[in-house]
Structure 1
Amino acid sequence: MTAQEAEHMGSPPAEESSVPAPRHRRPLLLLVTEQLTSSVGRQVTALALPLLAIAHLHAGPLGASALLAMSYLPGVLLSPLIGVAVDRARLRRMLVSVSWLQVPAIGSVPLAAALGGLTWPHLFAAAAASGALGSVQGVAAQSCLPRVVPPDRLLPANSSLTGARTIGLIGGPALGGLLVSLVDPAPALLVECAAYLVGGALFLALPASLNRSPHEAGGGARSRVEALKEGLEVIRRETLLRRQALAAAGLNLGGGAGAGLFVLYADRELELPSWQLGAVYAGYAVGMGTGVLVAASVTRALGMARAIRWCAVGAGAALFLIPAASLGLSFPVLVLYQLLFGLLATVWSIAMTTGRQLVTPAHLLGRVNAFLQAVLTATLPVGSFVGGWLASRVGMVPVLTGAAAVALAGASSLWFPRDMLAQVERATAQPLGPAVP
């Protein structure tokens, strides 16, 4: 591939990129609003669903863990087919349909609970269906963004979407806790149903041009097998995409192990009081919010490839602060960890997503997004499970140290081969817009 070809790969035609900014602001505003509402709804359900299983079905640790796994598993197993489907779909129609299908999938649970007929198979089926639909929506939304936002606006657009999700991560659990304390956990699930009804309406207001499939415009593989091979080929060809997958796997394996043990470690090993643990988690929210605000400036100053490299390595190295907290000054060390990890991981994620959208051809973006989403989704629970199993045998501090080493090793893969920096800078050679869309 020549540098000139790489610069335009995955970008809209020149006449579309030059469309005045106001025409791109409305679709972005719709997507940001949807991300905010759906994020709040998901966080409410993340709290209410296990509490519902405990209250109505007397769930123990195994039942609660299995319920969480069922929400992840379909997206991992179906990711290749999801990617092909997204690349061939009328995106607006798919986003609306998937959002509104979430309503009966989730709403059936409080209905069954109200009628006294809630069972474990029903709860598992609802979690699996919602997880599969959520995976489709996540891949489709990421593939939609480069078609409604010009290349020079992708970085601030991704920052805005991440900011909306961050607000949901902060406000959703608080709203969920309030609702569960006032009513039974089952009615609290209706918040997510309402969020998906609103989300479907917002998707319906997106440009009708999204219903024109890039697969039709650009040709492409005819069979599903050929389509999968075509998607894997672009990952094999693009150094940035291969390194992203490897770095994400390492960071999530190590980060998953750390996250799975974090509360237990802070409580039993460090004996942090509950108010300090709450402050530690607040530090992560502050770090994420700061990352959203500075992502465009940092990436513009360092360049896309350097921002991806340095922030990934910094996030991996920050995990060493978790076991270091056992040496003394536990509270400030863990607050520092959450601040640094939240900041660096957020900037890395925004830069990584933007780089992927710029180097991937539009008609292959669904397959590439699905593959990387599967890597991210699968490695996190695996890291959590393996970390917990090892900690029960050798102790938490050695496992947390090893988890940080795994994360740092994965992030360090972004530094090889040595010429990747020049390759990525050529492939993502787009002017970066200001931080505010």
Structure 2
Amino acid sequence: MSLRGHRPLLLLVTEQLTSSVGRQVTALALPLLAIAHLSAGPLGASGLMVMTYLPGVLLSPLIGITVDRARLRRLLVTATWAQVPVVGSVPIAAALDGLTWPHLLTVAAVSGALNSAQSVALQSCLPRVVSSQQLLAANSSLTGARTAGLIGGPALGGLLIGIVDPAPALLVECAAYLIGGSLFLALPAALNRPVDQAGADAKSRIDALREGLAVIRRETLLRRQALAAAGLNLGGGAGSGLFILYASQELSLPSGQLGIVYAAYAVGMGAGVLLASSITRALGMARAIQVCALGAGAALFLIPAASLGLAFPVLVLYELLFGLLATVWSIAMTTGRQLITPAHLLGRVNAFLQAVLTATLPVGALVGGWLASHVGIVPVLIGAAAVALAGASSLWFPRDLLATVERTAQAP
């Protein structure tokens, strides 16, 4: 069934494109603002990043329960519009020369928590506005919108910051949130019917959390997804944290070539969005999940392999392959999770897995940086690739996992 002209999906895609551009502008403006106004060093910049991710991880159980019991349209609108005064307080404080570290860190934490809640709610919303047969194509569309924002957002941010101070550039994200909330408000009113109203009346939050964790323990696919995501993100986080230092210092890659390498990743992601449905149809959803995860983990070995020679083409090849395979894997796994999880528990399951994804990236980066200072960058990059490959390999065992995913994908 075609999604052309599907109004709710069009609203969601437009919101994802708008918010992705806004977040990328802020991702560039916020650390530059801390440097310009608060003389931030490496520790301050790292602290800002940690405060962006940490609340979503710590609050993930509460977020999951809230999403399952909430009126989803109202929650999406509230979480989005609440960002306007939070983020908007920064340029106001900067204009009044009253910006402080506690203020900036609080904004990063509150905005990060709201982003986490919106992300979980959006993943739980999608199966309620498209059919199960349309989920894969719908997830590809949303990922494509976010990818476009990843490409255009930094360029817009750099242009704005070159014209004005970083603080006024944050108003772009405020405008994006105003637009995004209006788009969510136009979603079907049926989304305001909670899917777990009975649970909200009968269960405590602890009981509701246990119910969600029971699904993850029971479903092999969900457990393996968490393990694979943890391994890929730990390894990928270590590699990402060292990548610029490795490419610029150990490989002596000029800045122009480094820019092309990063652009190759965006090209790979775009190809993944375009090819996700075709690859999944050709291999089947289960095999596509397994092959793409394994391929993404194996591609990380190309990073240390670049030290053997032909560094520039090898790194370009890595970015293309990893961007393509990781994108197809993410789309297929998200779709499989949405299909296999009962609707009234989807918020809790999404929140738990998002916490795994969010927590393991900075942990991988921090551990990788510490180890590299003791044993060198290349050995750590090899170890990081091995960790990622081991995590991805878990999707191949037990053997009946393949049949489980295929049954789920073919369910009406």
Alignment of 1:210-249 (within 5 A): 210-216=191-197, 222-249=203-230
Query: Whole-Å Cα distance in 2 between the matches of residues 126 and 56 of structure 1?
Result: 15
Change (3 A) 1:221 1:230: farther
1:33 aligned residue (9, 14, 18): 14
1:84 maps to 2:65: yes
Report what 1:69 is aligned to: 50
Q: Which of the residues 190, 206, 210 maps onto 2:171?
A: 190
1:319 has 2:303 as partner: no
Query: Residue 221 of structure 1 contacts residue 230 of structure 1 at CA under 8 Å; is this kept in 2?
Result: no
1:294 matches 2:245: no
Report Cα offsets for 1:82-124 as digits up to 9, x if no partner.
Answer: 0000000000000000000000110000000000000000000
1:120 pairs with 101, 109, 120, which one?
101
Which of residues 259, 273, 292 in structure 2 aligns to 1:278?
259
Tell me the residue number matched to 1:52.
Answer: 33
Give the TM-score normalised by the residue count of structure 1. Answer: 0.93
Contact 1:30 1:206 (8 Å CA) reproduced: yes
Counterpart-to-counterpart distance in 1, 2:224 and 2:344: 21
- The question of whether the paired residues in 2 share the 8 Å contact of 1:270 and 1:326 is answered with yes
Of the candidates 364, 371, 376, which is equivalent to residue 383 of structure 1?
364
Q: Do the aligned partners of 1:57 and 1:120 also contact (CA within 8 Å) in 2?
A: yes
Task: Give me the whole-angstrom Cα distance separating, in 1, the residues matched to 2:78 and 2:69.
Answer: 15
The question of whether the paired residues in 2 share the 8 Å contact of 1:220 and 1:227 is answered with: no
Distance 1:395 1:164 in 2: 38
| Cα distance between partner residues in 1 of 2:99 and 2:373 | 34
* 1:315-354 → structure 2 map (5 Å cutoff): 315-354=296-335
What residue is the counterpart of 1:303 in the other structure? 284
Asked if 2 retains the 8 angstrom alpha-carbon contact of 1:105 and 1:126, the reply is yes
What's 2:186 paired with? 205
Cα deviation digits, residues 160-208 of structure 1 (max 9, x gap): 0000000000000000000001000000000000000000000000000
Are 2:377 and 1:396 aligned?
yes
1:434 alignment partner in structure 2: none
Return the alpha-carbon distance in structure 1 between the equivalents of residues 73 and 408 of structure 2: 28
Q: CA deviation at 1:219?
A: 7.6
| 8 Å CA contact retained: 2:69, 2:200 | no
Q: Displacement, 1:423?
A: 1.6
Note if contact 2:3-2:134 (Cα within 8 Å) is conserved in structure 1.
Answer: no
Tell me which residue corresponds to 1:423.
404
Measured after TM superposition, the shift of residue 422 of structure 1 is: 1.0
The residue number in structure 2 matching 1:267 is: 248
Equivalent pair of 2:8/2:129 in contact (CA under 8 Å): yes
Q: For this pair of structures, how many residues does the alignment match?
A: 412
What RMSD over aligned residues (CA atoms) do the two structures have, in Å?
A: 1.3
* Structure 1 residue matching 2:6: 3-state secondary structure: helix
| AA in 1 matched with 2:66 | A
What is the deviation of 1:427?
Answer: 2.1
Structure 1: which 5+ runs fail to align? 1-19, 432-437
Matched with 1:158 is 139
C-alpha contact 2:63 2:351 (8 A) present in aligned 1: yes
Report if aligned partners of 1:24, 1:149 keep a CA contact under 8 Å in 2: no
Q: What is residue 110 of structure 2 aligned with on the other side?
A: 129
Deviations 1:354-396 (A, max 9, x none): 0000000100000000000000000000000000000011000
| Identity in percent | 80
Distance 1:410 1:305 in 2: 16
2:31 counterpart letter in structure 1: P
1:68-91 deviation digits (Å, cap 9, x = unpaired): 100000000000000000000000
Deviation at 1:22, TM superposition (A): 7.1
